Amino acid sequence: MQTRKFFLTTAIDYPNSRPHIGTAFEKIGADIQARYRRQQGYDVFFLMGNDENTVKVSKKAAELGLPTQDYCNDMARQFREVWDALDISYDAFIQTSSPRHHACCRKFIQRVYDNGFIYKGDYTGWYCEGCEAFKTDTEVKEAGGVCPIHKTPVVRRSEPCYYFRQSAFQERLLQLFDERPELIQPESRRNEILEYVRGGLKDVNITRLGESWGIRLPWDPDFTIYVWFDALLTYITGIGFGDDEQQFAKWWPCDIHFIGKDITRFHCALWPAMLMAAGVEPPRQVFGHGFVYIKNEETGAVEKISKSLGNVVEPMQIITRFSAEAFRYYFMRECPFPGDGEFSWSRFAEVYNSELANNLGNLFSRVATLVTRNFGGTLPQTAGQAAELLDPDRPDTVRQIQQHVESCRYNQALQTLWQSILNPANQFADRKEPWKLVKTDSQAAARTLFTMIEPLRAGAILLKPFLPRAAESIYRSFNFHTPWEQVRYEDAMTPARQTEDLRIEPPLENGKIKPLFPRIA
């Protein structure tokens, strides 16, 4: 059987400030997809990176008195520290200031130029320093004469430039969207893009004049390549375009580009047009996820994450107080990935305690304590047995969860898992009270515990992409037959037959069973 490949990317980030929880939201969503695909047997390549060829970054470095390259390298280290702490399982991290990326970008743009899709002209327009982009007259007018994003004054700017003939691709793009309805996700983004492209595509100025930081045009080195153009190219330079054609052919086209919903246009119009202009196939899917907002606990207002509002929460603040797993869980459970979500410390503690500490964690510790204390860690007469299912619709439930994961509806996947598999197990325990039963009918208590362990086994398998550490810790506490490295979602559909008596060896801490998710006061 041929292994299917899965190539996915996240947006690359400006390193002019450290990542906040909103930046992390995207990476976790992509990571769950990457881990899920690996678990299901795909050959996965997961690409991330930083977007460094921007004037803003060189300004920031100058402010700090650092060479721009040193500043970029240090920020890349800081970003990767956060991603590592969150267990983001990326395979490669591209810095766009790297000589390799520069060389491959120059090859790409030369090809587009040779194909006749780049021409020289002049550009005059309203420019926002913050966005590093020209704004259309309508955008500026509607915003009342300022940048619609930054609300700061725009400046009139005129310069010679090179245009990318985006207008030549309007019909081909519409045809592409028609042939591949799954290309733009979720559906709401698709409608927005269709309307935008139908409205007519303009040619795009893709160069800047007289900048010292950035990638120079191969045929006219007075110009650097507009940062958006080169940033998009990481998706192909990161897998060998321009210098390792075999690698490139293996991974391209991209299976999912994960991006914030605000940059959908760049990814769904400009990017496929750029690829077509170079004779490269467009990506298979672009997924524009929602945003995380901060809920102000004093006023109740929902705010955009912003430095000026002073409400920025860094991932490490949450990781050190709770855990990386709690972080991953909260954002995937509470914030619908295709839509928007909110963060507040009190809501975080609430979700953590009710769903992780008191539900999943409690189920595990009940089982571990009872089996260890009353049965010396081994449930008798379970060899050759398969536990009874508390949820007879389990195969359907698993298929449903699988569809949710594949469509990036992570919150619905987790909701279904809790509702259909974990909650019934806790309710069953409350009803059967094995802690009492064990004093009067040891055999019945053993059977009850055996039944309670099955949802933990299935839960661990299904949670493997979401909570890689806790899931592994649960699963490896038991002597289940299938090795952890090999479990797939399908294994959660039916109870596994034990080859030997079911044994538990939970992780210990100072001689006591270590809680998976200690309650937070």
Binding site for Zn ion (CB under 5 A): 128, 130-131, 147, 149-150
**Which one, of 76, 80, 89, 104, lies nearest residue 33 by Cα?**
89
CB of 423 to Zn ion, least distance (A): 47
Whichever of 130 and 376 has its CB closer to Zn ion, that residue is: 130
CB of 479 to Zn ion, least distance (A): 59
SS3 313: coil
Amino acid at 420: S
Q: Within a 13 Å sphere around the CA of 172, how many CA atoms are in the beta-carbon half? A: 17
| Nearest-angstrom CA–CA distance, 37 and 446 | 36
Only one residue has tokens 């034990």, namely 498
Gyration radius (Cα) of the chain, Å: 26
Only one residue has tokens 């006023």, namely 299
SS3 340: coil
CB of 343 to Zn ion, least distance (A): 25
Whichever of 60 and 464 has its CB closer to Zn ion, that residue is: 60
Q: What share of the chain is helix, strand, coil (3-state, %, to 5)?
A: 50, 15, 35
CB of 14 to Zn ion, least distance (A): 13
Whichever of 11 and 140 has its CB closer to Zn ion, that residue is: 140
CB of 485 to Zn ion, least distance (A): 48
CB of 22 to Zn ion, least distance (A): 18
The DSSP secondary-structure symbol of 268 reads I
CB of 132 to Zn ion, least distance (A): 8
Whichever of 152 and 442 has its CB closer to Zn ion, that residue is: 152
**Which helix H or strand E contains 300, and what residues bound it?**
none
The answer to whether 386 and 495 have CB atoms below 8 angstroms apart is yes
Whichever of 109 and 147 has its CB closer to Zn ion, that residue is: 147
**Which one, of 103, 98, 233, 99, lies nearest residue 164 by Cα?**
233
Whichever of 138 and 246 has its CB closer to Zn ion, that residue is: 138
Whichever of 113 and 126 has its CB closer to Zn ion, that residue is: 126
